[in-house]
Chain A
């Protein structure tokens, strides 16, 4: 699986958009980009995933660059409850295993 690089931590003001970047320069053509988050002392929660096109759901938007070497997770209106560690994972759709990197600790501040 391709490796990912994320900033260690980020701050965001409550109510503003949180933009979390992820680099995956060695991604292969059949690998998807997944985003999960982990609120303190809980299990990871699925957010969104995509292959090439930008994706949006009720939680977030995923923007994938045209060359697919990087992506950005956007939380449009961050709240204090969005404070968590966000993990960007790259894997093939049918490949079962998830290997977590170090993630980005997002601190949403009032």
Chain B
């Protein structure tokens, strides 16, 4: 199956700083990628849809100025958590939509653990 990677796999940062997380589709092009957040013992929550060459669309309640998304190429989307605070500590997961002919599937990255101290 198709592979999606994330970098870094984990990151610790100080409160008030910004952190960038990368999501790459390694062996396919993805015009659409998605970002999720998962708190301990909770399910994944969809944050936003990242569209190559256009602005991301955010789910209700997600602050677009805090979670900046850039989908600059067909294989890379980045999520920047700006002015991070301890409550932003979470597991961030991206996914990429694989589409070929009539076949569509969504593949998930391994996740990035963010800890804000």
Mark A73-110 against chain B: 1 for CB-CB distance below 8 A, else 0: 00000000000000100000110111111110000000
The answer to whether B104 and A93 touch across the interface, beta carbons within 8 angstroms, is yes
Contacts A96-B32, A98-B34, A98-B95: A46 and B107 contacting too (C-beta < 8 A)? yes
A residues in contact (CB < 8 Å) with B: 36, 38, 41-46, 87, 93-94, 96-103
B residues in contact (CB < 8 Å) with A: 1, 4, 6, 32, 34, 36, 43-46, 49, 91, 93, 95, 97, 104-111, 113
A98 CA / B93 CA spacing, docked (Å): 13
- Return 5 A-B CB contacts under 8 Å, by A number: A43-B108, A96-B34, A97-B34, A98-B46, A103-B43
The answer to whether B106 and A46 touch across the interface, beta carbons within 8 angstroms, is yes
B111 surroundings in chain A (CB, below 8 A) = 41-43
Minimal Cβ-Cβ distance residue in A for B91 = A41
Q: What is the minimal beta-carbon distance from B60 to any residue of chain A, in angstroms? A: 12
The answer to whether A43 and B93 touch across the interface, beta carbons within 8 angstroms, is yes
The answer to whether A99 and B46 touch across the interface, beta carbons within 8 angstroms, is yes
B44 surroundings in chain A (CB, below 8 A) = 38, 44, 100
